[in-house]
Chains A and B, each alone.
Chain A
Amino acid sequence: MRTIFTILLFSSLLFSYQKGDIVSSEIKDKLEMKDNKIYVIDFFASWCASCKREMPYLSKVNDTIDKSKIELIGIDVDEDLKKGQTFQKELREAKKLNFRVVDDPKGEIVKLFEPVGMPGLYIVKDGKVVDFLFGARDNIDKLLLDVLKEL
């Protein structure tokens, strides 16, 4: 009984990606990921103010990294695809977004990762989740670069 209760309590953690978990081939195919590259996966949405604020900093990181080794991928989780794409267009026009974005209106990708907060940043190396950063963070660009330097 106690085991069942514990499993139920942590069930959401059991199914979401934790550090060291291998990313499924389904996700790899959807995001066109290669095994020899480091990927920074950013979950964002148009309604998330912190995500919007974070975007220019991530674009700044994208300018400094070696793109042959590291790649940033944005996942737009807006349920309204049109709204999400308009948001992305606005960001690109304002030069606040300079990496590729995959739309996930049905939540097929985000449901596998299950980030505990938005924006949700996952760092994936050799198909494995090595680190994550959730929520609004100060100096996210420096934080992310520090994480990437250690890999």
Chain B
Amino acid sequence: MRTLYLSLVITLFGGCSIKDVKPWEKGTLAKETMREGGGDVLFKKFANHIYFSKEGSKGGGGVAGGGCGCN
């Protein structure tokens, strides 16, 4: 019973674990297709239009860096 309980706990914990992506493994995440709307120019333009009209400002919608886990 104890072994069963222990294995159940280990399995549950194991099921919850996610392997973290290391900074040097972010090549796929840095791809254009990983962004919202992917490489679709029209989607990007439309999303930006919504963002700017909601915020009442233009620019500052992006973040610095190349998805490499740095600043």
A residues near B, CB below 8 A?
Answer: 43, 45-52, 77-80, 107, 110, 114-120, 134-137
Contact = CB atoms under 8 A, between A and B. Distances in A.
A128 B25 CA distance: 25
A86 B63 CA distance: 27
Q: For this complex, into which size category does the number of interface residues on chain B fall?
A: 10 to 19
A41 to B, nearest CB: 13
B66 A114 contact: no
B24 A107 contact: yes
Contacts, number: 67
Contacts of A52: 66
Majority secondary structure, A binding face: loop
B42 to A, nearest CB: 24
Interface in B8-62: 22-27, 30-31
A140 to B, nearest CB: 12
